Amino acid sequence: MFEGITSQLLFGQVLLGLINGSFYAMLSMGLAIIFGLMNVVNFTHGAQYMLGAFVAWLLLNFLGLGYWPSLVIAPLVVAVFGMVMERFLLRPLQNLDHLYGLLATYAVALIVEGLVRYQYGSTGLPYDNPIPGGINLGFMFLPYYRLWVVVFSIVTCVATWMLIEHTKLGAYLRAANEKPQIVEAFGINVPKMMTLTYGFGVGLAALSGVLAAPIYQVSPSMGSSLMIVVFAVVVIGGMGSIVGAAVTGYMLGVVEGLTKVFYPEAASVVIFLFMIVSLYLRPAGLFASKESV
């Protein structure tokens, strides 16, 4: 049945899946961190990812700063934007029903996307590949940049996980997530930590945006559809589970890639199908502890 499938196609799609998975993993990790600590579903995540790519593009075209400086500067710029947003928009809403926080982030996403589209139109802007070329592995051609994306995202995810699970800061963070009042009683500034956490999650989104710029075109709508897939990833992985989010992200990227090989028609829905099945079989998520249902 599958004779027509060459190893070229198969490995190519697996690699493509891994690359998509890298973005899913980084984005869903940021979402899970924000959700875990602040109970905010960050609907601006897609727009912040797009902003990351856009800032990189602006830096290149107006300041002449290339990809490598952008990889550091763009996430910082967007993180500052995120922290301002947290401080002046999300914090006042924090004690209300969580739905208002969600809708506020959605509103910001609409505004950001609308403004960028107004300024730059909806067609994509090209961004040059900083590492051209590639290596022929015999069974397939591997572009260096794609390899870099996969490696870099894995390193980022592991580093984030280490930061949260194995440092004092991470311990505070997890504690503040469980019992904010008690952590505050120990003299830790929980609101400030929330601002920083939000900034960190947003920065991760922007970082993925910069990584994505040379692969996909920089366009205003690059984030919104991706974000919904990432939501599904977070639901499958278990809300607020940081490891779950990252692992599920890679896994589903590959699943999606394989679906493109064997049954292309279903490629755009396979992640959602996965979500439906996992909602039925494991309602708490693949990696969630029982209490988070």
Partner 1 sequence: MPRLLLLAIIAAAALAAPFYFYSVTLMTIMCFVVFACSFNLLLGYTGLLCFGHAMFFGGAAYVTGYLLKTTSLSTELAVLAGGAAAGVLGALIGFLTMKRQGIQFAMITLAFSQFIYFVFLQAPFTGGEDGMQAIPRNALFGVVDITSNLTFYYVVLAITALCVFVYYRVVHSPYGEVLKAVRDNQPRVESLGLDPEKIKLVAFIISAAMAGIAGGMKATVYQFATLTDASWPISGEVILMTLLGGLGTLTGPVFGAAIIILLNDYLAGFGEWALVSQGVIFLVVIVFFRRGFVGELAAFKRYLARRSARHGTAAAPGAKTAEARG
Residues that bind partner 1 (CB under 8 A): 39-41, 89, 92-93, 96-100, 102-104, 106-111, 113-115, 117-118, 224-225, 228-229, 231-232, 234-235, 239, 265, 268-269, 272-273, 275-276, 279-280, 283, 293
Residue with Cβ nearer partner 1 (193 or 229): 229
Residue with Cβ nearer partner 1 (9 or 276): 276
Residue with Cβ nearer partner 1 (211 or 218): 218
- Cα dist. 282→41, 236, 246 in Å? 21, 9, 18
- Strands, E assignment, the chain: 134-136, 141-143
How far apart CA 251 and CA 267 sit, in angstroms, is: 14
DSSP state of 292: G
Cβ contact 57:130 at 8 Å: no
Task: Count, in order, helices (H) and strands (E) of the chain.
Answer: 12, 2
Closest distance of CB 211 from partner 1, Å: 23
Length of the chain: 293
Residue with Cβ nearer partner 1 (106 or 216): 106
Cα end-to-end span (Å), the chain: 41
Closest distance of CB 106 from partner 1, Å: 6
How far apart CA 73 and CA 55 sit, in angstroms, is: 9
Closest distance of CB 247 from partner 1, Å: 18
Closest distance of CB 78 from partner 1, Å: 18
Closest distance of CB 118 from partner 1, Å: 4
Residue with Cβ nearer partner 1 (103 or 286): 103
Residue with Cβ nearer partner 1 (149 or 227): 227
Q: Which residue carries 């930590």 as its tokens?
A: 193
Closest distance of CB 177 from partner 1, Å: 15
| CB atoms closer than 10 angstroms to residue 202 | 29
